[in-house]
Amino acid sequence: MTQLHAKKQLGQHFLHDAGIIEKIVRAIDPKPGDRLVEIGPGQGALTVPLLRRILAVAGDATPSPALSVIEFDRDLIAGLEHIGNTIAPLRIVHADVLTVDLTELAGPAPIRLVGNLPYNISSPILFHALEHAGVITDMHFMLQKEVVDRMAAEPGSKVYGRLSVMLQAYANVQSLFLVPPGAFRPPPKVDSAVVRLLPRPAARIGIRDTACFARLVKAAFGQRRKTLRNALQDVCTPEQMEAAGIDPSDRAERIDVARFIALANIVSPS
């Protein structure tokens, strides 16, 4: 595909390191029957090797379309159509991923989400995907390393925060490997990392009121240097914290996800 000028406002950093691309495809490990959806296929750096791997593993049973892609930049659509016409049928959704109903896109069977995401909207994309977690088997994303560190952080870590708790409540988060800026054109200013998210089955999440949980986590980390007694004074009482196994004189960064969920369920038991 002809190299186009990268659009900064769309977070365009195109992968060109064949070793890294192969590592990502191996981590995704497409299996026959998988229904893959790629966010931000760009010029096809991941799309083409993914399609080739799908063809290799599924052979004559390759589904049609073999892969769905969601791309916002209209200048990239013709190149993607060419890939679909020459390698294997692609379903091309020309849209802002944040407006795409992934549940509707999935239809009757679950999907696997992948993508080298535009970093400027990576958190909204993560939360959008989690809203559709019921139809998603797993997700493999390239993100800023700093974001992946926060997503996967454990209590007590300096980077454990709102993003860690909100994501880990709904998914198992695995940081897989680092990717240096030189793997992209143009190179981003930061290191990147590939992360795998495995959504937890709805029955195992156990949050009764998701809005209450989100509000509580936001308040707890909004003033992370304060004790929880102070940070959460408008949200719950010290007695409710104790009932959830939380010492009110503790700080949010030391509280694990299970205790945040327990507290939210005490605050909003219905």
Chain residues binding ligand SAM by CB under 6 A are 10-15, 39-43, 45-46, 70-73, 76, 96-98, 116, 118, 121
Other beta carbons within 10 Å of 136: 22
Name 138's bridge partners.
112
* Identity of residue 51: L
SS (H, E, C) 68-114: EEEECCHHHHHHHHHHHHHCCCEEEEECCHHHCCHHHHHCCCCEEEE
Residue whose CB is less far from ligand SAM, 76 or 129:
76
Comparison of 66 and 169: residue with beta carbon closer to ligand SAM: 66
Minimum CB separation of residue 153 from ligand SAM in Å reads 23
Residue 143 CB, nearest distance to ligand SAM (Å)? 10
- Compare residues 13 and 35 and give the one whose CB is closer to ligand SAM: 13
Q: Which is nearer to ligand SAM, 116 or 123 (CB)?
A: 116
Q: How far is the CB of 79 from ligand SAM (least distance, A)?
A: 10
Residue nearest to ligand SAM (CB): 40
Q: C-beta of 55: minimal distance to ligand SAM in Å?
A: 19
Q: Enumerate residues 6+ apart whose C-beta is below 8 A from 85.
A: none
Residue 32 CB, shortest distance to ligand SAM, in Å, is 24
Is the Cβ of residue 67 or residue 267 nearer to ligand SAM in the bound state?
Answer: 67
Query: CA-CA distance, 253 to 134, in Å (whole number)?
Result: 29
Q: Closer CB to ligand SAM, residue 42 or residue 248? A: 42
Q: What would the DSSP string read from start to end of 207-230?
A: -S-HHHHHHHHHHHHHTTTS-HHH
Q: Which is nearer to ligand SAM, 148 or 257 (CB)?
A: 148
226-257 burial: b if 16+ Cβ within 10 Å, else e: ebbbebbeebbebebbeebebebeebbbebbb
Cα–Cα dist 253/248, whole Å: 13
Cα 218 to Cα 235: distance, rounded to the nearest angstrom: 11
> Residue 77 is which amino acid?
I
